[in-house]
Structures are given as structure tokens and as C-alpha cells.
Structure 1
Amino acid sequence: MNYEQRDPYGIYKNKAVFTSGPSTVHGPGPQVMGANTLIGNNVYNSKAESIGDIKEIMLDMRSGHVSYAVLSFGGFLGMGEKLFAVPWAALKLDTENKRFTLDVDRAKLEAAPGFDKNHWPDMADSAWEQGIHSYYGTRYNGDNRPN
């Protein structure tokens, strides 16, 4: 399900407002989007292979920035599912296909540091954060904000 289908407030329904001048389109997106509408979005790699979906979006309460998207990959009906914290900077919103892209092949994702729903890592631990950013090729500057 994509963000347009999960839009209870009509955020992404571009409404034309007619005034005495030319019509304008109001509303956020895709530059500013509701986190709840992004949860559940599909994630594909650069080879157009489905590699999972967004289960959660993690906010750094110290900086006020989005830190990670929790990506679910593998398993069947929730059994054997593996979760991955992917730095937000590693994801790109594909507005044409209404999904995210992550430049990683399946083998690299399968080998990525992951966790299960009952054993979450300490995402505020700086060593863990540095390792995740290094794995996905994003820069980390120590205050949980990519450079």
C-alpha cells in the first residue's frame, strides 16, 4: 500500500484552489510527508526488486530528525521476518512508482545487521549508529544527523 492509498486526511490529494489569478495546488508532499502515510510503503532496490516494506520510522528526539526507517524483509506471514534499521539518508522516495528505493542488492541486505521484533538494538548507541551508517554508505556526524 502506498502513501496515497493510506491518506486519511487527504494530504496528497492535490486540490486546485481557484482565485482571481491562476489556480494553485495546495498541500504538502512529496517534500513534506506524514510519517504514518509512509509506514507500509514498499521498498525496492535499483534493480526494481522488492526488498521489503517500511514497518516503522524512528525519530531522534535529541535532534528532531528522522534517523532510521525499520525495513522488514523475508519471512512468511510475519514468521521468520527480519528487521533492519536503514539510515533515512539511504532511502529515496520514488514518487513516480509511489515507493522507496534503497541502493542495495538482496545479498547485501540479507547479510546486513538486523534484528527481530523481540530484540531491538540500542539505536542511541553511537558505535551501533556508526556501524549502520557505514554499512549503508551514509555519513554519520555523531549527533544522529547524516551530513
Structure 2
Amino acid sequence: MNENDLMQDNLTGQNQEGGNANWPVRILTATSIIGDQVDNPQGDNLGKIKDIMLDIHKGNITYVVLEQSGILGINEKLFAVPFQALQLDQANQKFVLNASKEQFEQAPGFDKDHWPGTNSHEYYSGVGSYWGNFLGPNSGAAFT
């Protein structure tokens, strides 16, 4: 296997040495999921993954930033969503968020020019409380 094949594996999530060698997907690179579509279970497009925020002290993903596009890039809105709230739809190479379009649009959000402070515990506590309603008691998702 050459380096180009390995790079292709990381970008696509598909192993070049066999049809199901990477199934089920367990580990993906950040660059392979940034830009991925996020839908709800009803098939409504909620947006795409814009960025991934890491807790550098705990070594885990704190949340992902979902981008809901406006018309021609105007009125874009960003949402901080716990990574645990997303389920991978491997067959369709997208993520699913268990929230209606209305629930998603009512979530705490921010615009691209006014990101919340990365150390703002108050903002993330509110976001964690909102999404906790959709995650259920066994998800383990929390902003700290």
C-alpha cells in the first residue's frame, strides 16, 4: 500500500484494500468530517459540520460547530452541538442529529463574526442544557 492510498483512505473513510475493511467506521480524521452534511431522521438537511472544537486539557471533542447556510452566504448561523448528539450514517456518508428542523433552528446559535469565547463556561452550559433535552440520559454528553 502506498502513501496516496492511505491518504485516500483517510479522506473517504473507505479502505483501498477491500470493500468492508473499514466497516464499521470507528476513527475518522477531523478533515474527513469537516464539511459533512447533517440531517435529521426525517431527512431534512440541518447544515454541515463547519469545525470541531477540542478540549486540549481533557483530550476530547467538546462540540462540533454546525453551519446552517443562508442565501448566497448571507444570514449564515452557527450552532455548537455536542459531538455525542450526532450519529454517523455510514451508508450515506453523513451525520444525523435527532432534532426537528424547528428544534434545531431554536437552538442557541451565533453568527460567523461573533463566535462565543472559547472559555465561556456560561455559553456552553446553556448549550449543553439545550441539547441535553435531545440526547437522553445515557448519552454521556455534557459541556464542562
TM-score by length of 1: 0.78
Q: Does 1:121 align with 2:116?
A: yes
Q: Does 1:73 align with 2:68?
A: yes
CA shift digits 1:94-138 (9 cap, x unpaired): 101110000111111111111111100123322222211111115
Query: Share of identical aligned residues, percent?
Result: 38
Distance 1:51 1:8 in 2: 31
Structure 1 gap segments, 5+ residues each: 1-6, 18-23, 143-147
For residues 43-82 of structure 1, the aligned pairs below 5 Å read 43-82=38-77
Amino acid at match of 1:76: I
Displacement, 1:74? 3.7
Q: 1:8 to 1:55 in 2, by over 3 A?
A: farther
Structure 2 gap segments, 5+ residues each: 136-140
**How many residue pairs are counted as aligned between the two chains?**
129
Runs of at least 4 residues off by over 4 Å? none
Distance 2:102 2:74 in 1: 20
> Comparing both structures, which one devotes a greater share of its residues to helix?
2
Q: 1:63 to 1:29 in 2, by over 3 A?
A: farther
Displacement, 1:140? 2.1
Calculate the aligned-residue CA RMSD, in Å.
Answer: 2.3
Distance 2:69 2:6 in 1: 29
TM-score by length of 2: 0.79
Larger radius of gyration: 1
Which one of the candidate residues 32, 38, 41 is aligned to 2:36? 41
